Amino acid sequence: METYGDLIAADDVLLFVNAAITATGQREFHAEAAEQQLSLGFLHEYMLVNYRGPYAASLALDINDHNAALIVRQLLETAKDATEEQRRTEGRLIARRLALLPPQRVYRLIGELRRARVNNRRTRAILRDWLAARPDQTLDAVKYRGGLKLALRHLHLRPAEPETGDFLFGKAARRAGRYRAPLLDAWTRAHYEQGALYQLPYTVAEGFAAKHGIPREAFLRKIEPRMTALERLRLQESARRTGAAEVAADLHRMPLTRLAVYALGLPTADRIARRAELTDALRAAARRTAGTQQGSWGRVSAVLDDSFSSAGSGQKRRRPLAAALACHFLLEALAAEGGYRAFWTSGRTDALLLHPLGPTPLGRRIVDALETTPDRLVILSDGWDNAPPGMAAEVLRVWHTRLDPDHRTGIVHLNPVFDAETFDVRRLAPTVPTAGLRDAADLPTLAEFARFAEGRTGIGELTAHLALRIERFLDPARAGEPGPSGDSGKPGEPGEPSPDPSRTGGAQ
């Protein structure tokens, strides 16, 4: 029988998971970056010392890449504090998570481990296997040259090919015709031959283009075949302004949340002119994300926050609003046909033309949404209910105690913003489960996970859930589902293999 201490432990683990999903150590609308980093650093240290098992298990959840790298570093730095069984499990979790992280982040992690003088046998084995699994070390030598050099030195490894070692460490690296590998040869010739730079990855070629003084329009037009889908998305409007109209992104292949960020970044006039294209792309991405759950959620109402605070910050511009827009289209796909209703806090109804505006009257919109008697009510907001303050909590209390004591309507609150002051995401009411959310693709999983946040679940049930997630994470083929679908660097959609952007030479 679980004790009060077990409930506290479960609450601590859930608090950390919410932080690991939403917090990136960057400035938010209501908090500076230093506050975020201090709060997040404390949580990592607290979890590592008190709950090492669940701390490592969170690598199997939908946490963001920033926190995944922090967890990996902490586990490797404190390997001596783990039991033999913990080290085996941690090693498998770390190896799997490193395979999902963008390579530049792993190379940065290796640099941090080097500065911390972490170079034990276990660390070298894990990172050696990661390097061996890289699809093309020649490409890494060109694209992540400094990171690969540091990694080989720190891990006491030789390059896969002798000429890659010559390229990284040799003194005659720029001698023409020295290398047989096309990429290495192109990098050498690009120092004095403009045509060679178009054989390089876009991010590498961009520096050479600036060195040679190549006009931006001409460079973008010729480098287009070397761009990844995400690079095309970022540069589409830039290319249009400079006249390189051929550089166009295939919006129908974009991940849902990234596509929402892109759409909200367009001027209103462009959104109106491209309404059909953008709407079709967002709905197609939502259907891909919903997968087999499409149309299975019954009647769904959503209260979505487009208040002024959804503008985010200079580092996370419009990110909360983009999460709301992406969830809007995903919930439309998850609901039964014709069974979806959206209630934006501003009262507007044209989702594509949204911009951050006004206060946050969550209580009023929740009343409007509950009047539709949905099977599910999803609230996506940063939790700053201020018009009037506290009305949302009171509405939800009365609903649960007087109007729907049998919980016929499932209610969940998803929050895309980490609150450094409370070490958690802000909650609306004790009776409503709250979970952090960064990527809309994680919404179905988080809606299920949020039930643990109601305060009635002990550590036993939560540990069983984590064990199941670990099993699926370590063997996604047997479980029939992908690993975490974090947004920061993985271009694939849930249910589809995530292609390695470095294969096509683009930035991630």
Query: 277 and 236 in one domain?
Result: no
Give a yes or no: residue 131 inside a domain.
no
Mean of the pLDDT values across residues 336-341? 94
Query: 350 and 279 in one domain?
Result: yes
**Which of 249, 278, 294 lies at the terminal end of a domain, its last residue?**
249
Strands, E, within 190-333: which ranges? 300-304
422-432 pLDDT, tens digit per residue, is: 888 888 988 88
Are the C-beta atoms of 451 and 499 separated by less than 8 Å?
no
55-84 pLDDT, tens digit per residue, is: 999 999 989 999 999 999 999 999 999 999
Q: Quote the CA–CA distance of 327 and 344 in Å, as a whole number.
A: 12
- Burial (CB count within 10 angstroms: exposed 0-12, middle 13-18, buried 19+), residue 268: exposed
Residue 505 is predicted with a pLDDT of 35
CA-wise closest residue to 10 among 54, 63, 75, 70: 54
**Which of 437, 454, 471 lies at the terminal end of a domain, its last residue?**
454
Are the C-beta atoms of 254 and 280 separated by less than 8 Å?
no
pTM: 0.83
Residue 106 is predicted with a pLDDT of 96
Residue 498 is predicted with a pLDDT of 37
Average pLDDT of every residue of the chain: 85
Mean of the pLDDT values across residues 384-404? 90
Given a cut of 50, is residue 227 above it in pLDDT?
Answer: yes
* 459-474 and 4-22 helices, crossing angle to 10°: 40
**What is the strand order of the sheet 340-344 is part of?**
340-344, 300-304, 376-380, 410-415, 434-436
Given a cut of 70, is residue 259 above it in pLDDT?
Answer: yes
Give a yes or no: residue 300 inside a domain.
yes
Structure letter (DSSP) for residue 342: E
CA-wise closest residue to 191 among 178, 170, 180, 207: 207
Residue 453 is predicted with a pLDDT of 65
Which structural domain, as residue segments, surrounds residue 214?
Answer: 190-249
Mean of the pLDDT values across residues 483-488? 46
Residue 489 is predicted with a pLDDT of 37
Query: 423 and 321 in one domain?
Result: yes
Residue 240 is predicted with a pLDDT of 52
The encoded tokens of residue 51 equal: 């709950």
Given a cut of 70, is residue 454 above it in pLDDT?
Answer: no
Mean of the pLDDT values across residues 370-376? 94
Residue 236 is predicted with a pLDDT of 67
Query: 347 and 291 in one domain?
Result: yes
271 vs 229, higher pLDDT: 271
Query: 220 and 294 in one domain?
Result: no
* 162-169 and 182-189 helices, crossing angle to 10°: 20
Of 11-15, 105-109, 110-114, 121-125, minimum mean pLDDT range: 11-15
> CATH number, domain at 406?
3.40.50.410
Distances (CA, A) of 79 to 52, 432, 443, 466, 484: 11, 38, 33, 21, 24
Given a cut of 60, is residue 174 above it in pLDDT?
Answer: no
Query: 242 and 328 in one domain?
Result: no
Mean of the pLDDT values across residues 467-475? 87
**Which of 226, 249, 272 lies at the terminal end of a domain, its last residue?**
249
Other beta carbons less than 10 A from residue 4's beta carbon: 8
Query: 241 and 344 in one domain?
Result: no
Give the angle 324-289-448 at the CA atoms, nearest 5°.
70
> What is the CA 165 to chain-centroid distance, rounded?
34
**Beta-carbon contacts of residue 334 (< 8 Å; ≥ 6 apart):** 290, 293, 294, 295, 296, 297, 300, 444
Give a yes or no: residue 50 inside a domain.
no
Mean of the pLDDT values across residues 351-364? 92
160 vs 59, higher pLDDT: 59
Query: 444 and 361 in one domain?
Result: yes
Residue 411 is predicted with a pLDDT of 93
Residue 255: CA atoms inside 13 Å, Cβ hemisphere, count?
A: 26
Mean of the pLDDT values across residues 160-178? 72
Q: Quote the CA–CA distance of 10 and 6 in Å, as a whole number.
A: 6
Other beta carbons less than 10 A from residue 195's beta carbon: 10
Given a cut of 80, is residue 241 above it in pLDDT?
Answer: no
Query: 227 and 272 in one domain?
Result: no
Given a cut of 80, is residue 490 above it in pLDDT?
Answer: no
CA dihedral of 422, 424, 428, 429, whole degrees rounded to 10: -90
Name the band, by pLDDT with cuts 50, 70 and 90, for residue 142. very high
> What is the CA 394 to chain-centroid distance, rounded?
33
SS (HEC) of 377-423: EEEECCCCCECCECHHHHHHHHHHHHHCCCCCCEEEEEECCCECCCC
Using a pLDDT cut of 70, give the percent of the chain over it.
87
Are the C-beta atoms of 130 and 107 separated by less than 8 Å?
no
The encoded tokens of residue 111 equal: 């640099």
Residue 369 is predicted with a pLDDT of 96
Residue with tokens 């499990």: 89
Given a cut of 90, is residue 504 above it in pLDDT?
Answer: no
Q: How many domains does the chain have?
A: 2
Residue 336 is predicted with a pLDDT of 94
Query: 304 and 230 in one domain?
Result: no
Given a cut of 50, is residue 502 above it in pLDDT?
Answer: no
Name the band, by pLDDT with cuts 50, 70 and 90, for residue 1. low
Given a cut of 50, is residue 451 above it in pLDDT?
Answer: yes
